[in-house]
Structure 1
C-alpha cells in the first residue's frame, strides 16, 4: 500500500494514469518483495520486470468476479515493452524466423518464521 501513497513523481503519474502500476523497471538480476509473513525472490536474465497491480476489474463482465482492484499483482520478466518504438528493427524483442529464444526466470517464496 505504500506505493499507492508515494510522493515519487513517477509512481504518482502511474497511479493517476492507471490507478496502479503497469510499468517496467530495471531491477538488475534480482527483485525482492515481502510482507510480514513471506519473502518473494525473483531472479531473471531479462533486462526489465513489468510490475502490474491488477488495476481495474470493471471489464470483467461475470457474476463470478469476486476480485477487487489491487487484490493481486504480476511480475513479468521481459524486454522493454516499448522497445520496437524506441529501437525499431534493432529491438531485442523482435525474433527472426527459426530463431530460438531462451530466458530464465525463477521465483522463490520463503516463509518468514516468527
Structure 2
C-alpha cells in the first residue's frame, strides 16, 4: 500500500478541532458513528471532571479528528480498510504488513490533524 496521500480527493475539508466541528464532519463522513462519538465524549467529560484535567477531552478531540481525517480522505480510508481486513490473515507476513500499514495510517492521520 502506498503511503503517499492524494489530497485532491478529500470528501470534506478538514474540520476545526472543536466538538461541534468534529460532530458536523462525522455526520457527513461516518454518520453511523455519531452515537459512539457522543458516548466517548460523555466519558471524556466525566473523566475530565473526576481527574480535574482537560487531558481526557484533548484526547477525545484528537482521536476523533484522526478518525475523521481517515474517513474524509479516500487514500487513507482505503489503506485503513485494507489493514483492518488483513490483521488476522492466515499468512503471517500479510498480517504483519497489515499491522504496519495500520500504524502508518494512524500516524499519518494524527500528524495531519496536528499541523
Q: Given the two structures, how large is their TM-score scaled by the length of structure 1?
A: 0.31
Structure with greater strand percent: 1
Structure with greater helix percent: 2
Which of the two has higher C-alpha Rg? 1
